[in-house]
Amino acid sequence: MYVICVIGNLPIILAIFSNTHLHTPMYFFLVNLSFVDVSFTSTTIPKTLLNIQTQSQVISYAGCITQMFFFIIFAELDDFLLGVMAYDRFVAICHPLHYMVIMNSNFCMQLVLLCWTISVLYGLLNSLLMLRLSFCSHMEIQHFFCELNQVVQLACSDTFLNDIIMYFAVVLFGGGSLAGILYSYSKIASSIRAISSAHGNYKAFSTCASHLLTIFLFYGTIIGVYFSASTVPNSASTAAASVMCTVVIPMLNPFIYSLRNTDMKKALKRLFFPNA
């Protein structure tokens, strides 16, 4: 699954960079999402595969903190980029005449840079807060990677500040992005209903279908599986939820965005078969 994730996302990045017709805001955000998906998966799965191969489940303290730092960054970026892509679709459908003025290249760059800045600062904050905690000599994490919440729970010192920051971020970042997505799509739904022709309705909806499916998979997995795992504490169910988020969804995203997208299929065909 990891190999499919990498092989699926990298051609999308190369195809968009090599095709000038795809140098639009929507595909600019898609390039960033594909890069984040590969990076997100790469923070945990290579180490897991190494553990399986060597039959060793050990990770160093520094390695654990580093893994946690990058995992938080790319998890938040995934969340933020889905929100930004929803805003892009909102402007494209609700304000089509002003789309290129609003979503100009500088603004798109600023949006992505803001997402990166917040994600890096939040990852750095959690890592620094983790360094102030003391741990017992032997720690066993009931997971296949250093998951923030589980590592915090293993600390021998007071974790009140860590817990506050963690839950505050879930509400502010996760809830904020989801609220923005729901608001954008409520406006999009209103605009689509106002279109009289069936062809116009289908064309408007088709531009959002891939993004909607990605949102459903991402948030549906987090809300459905993680919440059920929290009500019935079970390391196996929590690990299954993490595999869905860190491997399965990044693996499916390139297929979701390419199979239903004619321009993307043409760009991929031109990338692999330039003389065809």
Number of Cβ within 10 Å of residue 161's Cβ equals 11
pLDDT at 270: 82
Residue 237: pLDDT band with limits 50, 70, 90: low
Fold of the domain built from segment(s) 24-217: Rhopdopsin 7-helix transmembrane proteins (1.20.1070)
The pLDDT of residue 232: 55
Whether residue 38 is predicted with pLDDT greater than 60 in this model: the reply is yes
What pLDDT, on the 0 to 100 scale, is given for residue 265? 78
Per-residue pLDDT for 78 more than 70?
Answer: yes
**From residue 72, how far is each of 2, 65, 153, 169, 245 by CA, in Å?**
19, 11, 17, 11, 13
Report for 103-117, 208-222, 230-244: range of highest mean pLDDT: 103-117
| Buried b / exposed e along 7-18 (16+ C-beta atoms within 10 A) | ebbebbbbbbee
Q: How confident is the model at residue 231 (pLDDT cuts 50, 70, 90)?
A: low
Mean pLDDT along residues 166-183: 90
Q: What is the number of other CB atoms lying within 10 angstroms of the CB of residue 269? A: 12
pLDDT one-digit tens code per residue, 15-24: 888 888 888 9
Q: What is the mean pLDDT of the chain?
A: 86
Tell me the mean pLDDT in the region 75-88.
93
Scored b (16 or more CB within 10 A) or e, 191-209 reads: ebeeeeeeeeeeebeeebe
Predicted pLDDT at 264: 80
Tokens of 72: 């938080």
- Model confidence over 132-155: pLDDT tens digits? 998 877 788 888 899 888 899 889
In the chain, % of residues over pLDDT 90: 43
pTM: 0.90
* Torsions phi, psi for 194 (to 5 deg): -80, -15
Identify the pLDDT of residue 201. Answer: 66
The yes-or-no verdict on residue 101 having pLDDT over 90 is yes
pLDDT score, position 107 = 96
